[in-house]
A = this chain, B = another copy of it.
Amino acid sequence: MSDIVNRQWRLVARPAGMVQASDFEYREEPVPAVAEGDYLVRTLYVSVDPAQRGWMNEDPGYMPPIPLGEVMRGGTISEVVESRHPDYTVGDIVSGFLGWQEYALGSTGVLEAQTIVPEHPLPRYLGVLGGTGLTAYVGMLDVGQITEGQTVLVSGAAGATGSVAAQIAKIKGCRVIGIAGGAEKCAWLRDDLGLDAAIDYKGEPVSERLSALCPDGVDVYFDNVGGATLESAIAHMASGGRIACCGMIAGYNAAVPEPGPNNLFLLIARRITMTGFLVMDFAPRFGDARRDLSAWLDSGQLQAREDVQEGFENIPATFLRLFSGRNLGKQVLKVSDPTGTSG
Give A contacts to B, CB under 8 Å.
54, 61-62, 226, 230-231, 239, 245-248, 251, 257-278, 281
Contacts and interface: CB of A to CB of B under 8 A. Distances in A.
Given A54-B269, A259-B259, A264 B62 contact: no
A274 B277 contact: no
A161 to B, nearest CB: 12
A246 B260 contact: no
Contact of A267 (B259, B268, B276): B276
Given A226-B265, A245-B264, A274 B271 contact: no
Given A62-B239, A245-B268, A271-B275, 20 more contacts: A54-B269, A62-B271, A226-B264, A246-B268, A247-B268, A248-B264, A251-B265, A258-B262, A260-B260, A260-B261, A267-B274, A267-B275, A267-B276, A268-B278, A271-B276, A271-B277, A271-B278, A272-B275, A273-B276, A274-B274
Nearest to A273: B275
Contacts of A248: 264-265, 268
Contacts of A271: 62, 275-278, 281
Contacts of A275: 267, 271-274
A248 B266 CA distance: 10
Query: How many copies make up the complex?
Result: 2
Contact of A276 (B245, B259, B266, B281): B266
Question: Quick one: which of A258, A271, A281 has the most chain B CB within 10 A?
Answer: A271
Contact of A263 (B239, B257, B273): B257
Contact of A268 (B231, B264, B270, B276): B276
12 contacts: A54-B265, A226-B264, A226-B265, A245-B264, A258-B262, A259-B260, A259-B262, A266-B276, A267-B276, A268-B277, A271-B281, A273-B276
A293 to B, nearest CB: 22
A257 B270 CA distance: 17
A278 to B, nearest CB: 6
Nearest to A63: B269
A274 B268 CA distance: 10
A245 B265 CA distance: 8
A89 to B, nearest CB: 38
A262 B248 CA distance: 11
A271 B245 CA distance: 9
Contacts of A267: 245, 274-276
Nearest to A143: B273
A258 B264 CA distance: 10
Q: Which of A231, A257, A264 has the most CB of B within 10 A?
A: A264
Nearest to A267: B276
A257 B264 CA distance: 10
A269 B251 CA distance: 14
A284 to B, nearest CB: 15
Nearest to A234: B260
B269 A260 contact: no
A61 B271 CA distance: 11
A273 B274 contact: yes
A235 to B, nearest CB: 10
